Structure 1
Amino acid sequence: MYRHPLLESLHICFTLPIVVLDNDLDMLKAYPFQQVSCLQSDLKPHLDKVWRQKSLFPFTLLRTPKGQMLALYPFQNYLFIFGPFWSASPAQTLRPLADLAYIPQHCLAQEGLCPCQHISDVGHLLHLIHYFFTGHLHLMEQDQESLTQEIFEDIRKELSESLIQQCNLYEDQHFDFEFHLLESVKKGDLKEVRSFLSQSVTPKGVTKDLRSEKNYSILIFEKLSQLAISMGVDPVYAHHTRDYYMSKCEACLNIHDVLALRESAIILFTQKIGRINNHSYTVAKILRYIHQNLSQKLMVEDIAKQFNFSESTIRKLFRKEMNCSLQQYISQKKMEEAKVMLRNQNNVTEVSNSLGYADLAHFSRTFKAHVGLSPKQYQRSPIKDIL
């Protein structure tokens, strides 16, 4: 049997069994080879259900009554099975990453014939597997962002009428507090933010109970992440940081911990924005403009007009701070976005059009010059690297 070194290396590093099934759910490979005997024939209907349903989540986790788990990862025309393994990770922490389902105990061989590794954090394992196959975390961030929006909607729907009325009493105080807070963060001035926080991290007059503080903190985390993105912070970093703080916030057992966590988030985002602001005001605005208009045909001439500079001046200013030309930076950012879209199986023509390229041939030449592969080759490359 052919044994690909990368997939085998993944098995060795994780010390986790891996089974590869084809489109008909017939086994192609197993690491170690005897691992297939651990999966009983009764498991196949459950695998078939996962394969046919096409979950919105990247993974599906199957759990037995005794707590053994299998991580299923459909990728193109293959189904990869990781496990079984044990883990104490709470089910709710896995929801943004995977669909959860339960299977009867007899779907796996007896424990003596089916040894299990202990995984302390399943979330980290899933992120690593996803990165191994695709080279990025973009898809998971999209799933988490979508789920977070659903959570916000649920919170809003579940608010009682009395709580809504109570919030209206302090609407002006909330607005003033948040406005001044976000303006301070926007400047990236840590000294000013610390001074502001020394006064309070909650608007005066608002009733402080644990659930209210958690809900308010979640809203602050969301606003901080959106502000950071608008100021040029990497969206993946901003969303991941937001989700981290939301998760930590839900685990807090008292108001003091919630307030301390909220202050930590405010300071962290301020520091991140402050580093972005180390660029001159003009270059920072140009970077923001580029990030917000990657879907357009970005020409140096048009950018110069946008900021009332001559082309020669804006070229010199940009190169001095960024150590590359303006056009090189634009191409680099467009190619980074193109790689993400191609990994998500977007049509090459659609990717080209969505990034402002009128000529598909020009897009393909530019992509190959940056990546070393044509868009089609890059899109097909993961499965060649794995099997």
Structure 2
Amino acid sequence: MLGVDNDETICRLSSPNLSSLNQNIEQGGYDVAQLIDRILRDPATPREDVMVQPTHIVTRQSTDIYANNDQHIAEVLKYIHENISQKITVDELVELVPLSRRLLETRFKRSMGTSIYDYILQTRIEKVAQLLCEGMSVSEAAIELGFSDIKNLSRMFRQQRGMTPSEYRREILRLKH
């Protein structure tokens, strides 16, 4: 479960604690003020919606990735998230649990709705996006997550996010200012 506005009090009072989208509310306030200023200067100014873009997810218990009914899948998920900056192979994950590769892949897909490989890739790209939001450059984020080829990272990022990491970083910086 995921909330919006990231109101700390509400998020902490719910049980389990509610994960929430953090939004660039301050920028939204500036955008509204600019629109009001334009309308005051010229009443014929067309009215428009002001979009407040989310910047990242603040993770709490409600989106705990380890909360899984299958203890083996929970163990694999924990390992993936704790080692996301390393190269992780499916064979490595098979060694963690008493399941065959085929059974692990089948149970993982049933539980998570995606293959192990795709999940690892999605998690790595999500981590890159998070690092970019925290102010890292694309090359710093690539190094942090063990991507040796920035072009490859850029291609995978674009497939998942619809823009390159550089475009994403510029958009985040624009929204913050």
- TM value normalised by structure 1: 0.31
Q: CA deviation at 1:306?
A: 2.8
Q: Alpha carbon RMSD of aligned pairs, Å?
A: 3.7
Q: 1:334 to 1:31 in 2, by over 3 A?
A: same
Partner of 1:331: 121
Contact 2:76 2:96 in 1 (8 A): no
For this pair of structures, how many residues does the alignment match? 141
**Paired amino acid for 1:300:** V
Which of 326, 334, 358 pairs up with 2:148? 358
**2:52 matches 1:132:** yes
Distance 1:280 1:383, change over 3 A: closer
How many angstroms apart in 1 are the aligned matches of 2:57 and 2:106? Answer: 35
Aligned to 1:48: none
Corresponding residue SS for 2:154: helix
Cα gap change, 1:285/1:339 in structure 2, threshold over 3 Å: closer, same or farther? same
1:32 aligns with 2:36: yes
Higher helix share: 1
8 Å Cα contact 1:295/1:356 also seen in 2: yes
Pairwise mapping of residues 156-175 of structure 1 onto structure 2 (< 5 A)? Answer: none
SS at match of 1:276: coil
What is the alpha-carbon distance in structure 2 between the residues aligned to residue 311 and residue 17 of structure 1? 54
Q: Aligned to 1:276, which of 51, 62, 67?
A: 67
Q: Taking structure 2 as the reference length, what is the TM-score of the superposition?
A: 0.64
Distance (Å, rounded) in 1 between the aligned partners of 2:104 and 2:57: 34
Q: Does residue 302 in structure 1 map to residue 92 in structure 2?
A: yes
Shift of 1:386: 8.9
2:94 alignment partner, SS class: helix
Q: Alignment partner for residue 343 of structure 1, among 125, 133, 140?
A: 133
Secondary structure in 1 matching 2:95:
helix
Q: Does the Cα contact within 8 Å between 1:365 and 1:374 map onto a contact in 2?
A: yes
Tell me which structure has the larger Cα radius of gyration: 1
Distance 1:384 1:313, change over 3 A: same
Q: Once the two structures are aligned, what percentage of the paired residues are identical?
A: 24
Aligned partner (choices 163, 166, 170) of residue 373 of structure 1: 163
Do the aligned partners of 1:290 and 1:330 also contact (CA within 8 Å) in 2? yes
Contact conserved, 2:131 with 2:141, CA < 8 A, in 1? yes
Gaps of 5+ in 2: 1-24, 40-50
| CA positional deviation for 1:132 | 3.4
Partner of 1:287: 77
Which whole-Å CA distance do the structure 1 matches of 2:84 and 2:173 have between them? 29
Residue 197 of structure 1 corresponds to none
CA distance in 1, matches of 2:115, 2:57: 28
CA-to-partner distance for each residue in 1:50-101, whole Å, 9 max, x for gaps?
A: xxxxxxxxxxxxxxxxxxxxxxxxxxxxxxxxxxxxxxxxxxxxxxxxxxxx
One-letter amino acid matched to 1:33: D
For structure 1, the 5+ residue unaligned runs are 1-6, 19-29, 36-130, 139-235, 239-268
**Alignment CA distance shift 1:34-1:286 (3 Å):** closer
Q: For residues 176 and 70 of structure 2, what CA distance do their matches in structure 1 show?
A: 44
Distance 2:52 2:133 in 1: 12
Say if 1:137 and 1:302 are closer, same or farther in 2 by CA, change over 3 A.
closer
- Report how far residue 17 of structure 1 moved: 6.2
Residues of 2 paired with 1:276 and 1:137: CA distance?
17
Q: Is the 8 A contact 2:105 2:115 kept in 1?
A: yes
Q: State the 1:362 CA deviation.
A: 1.8
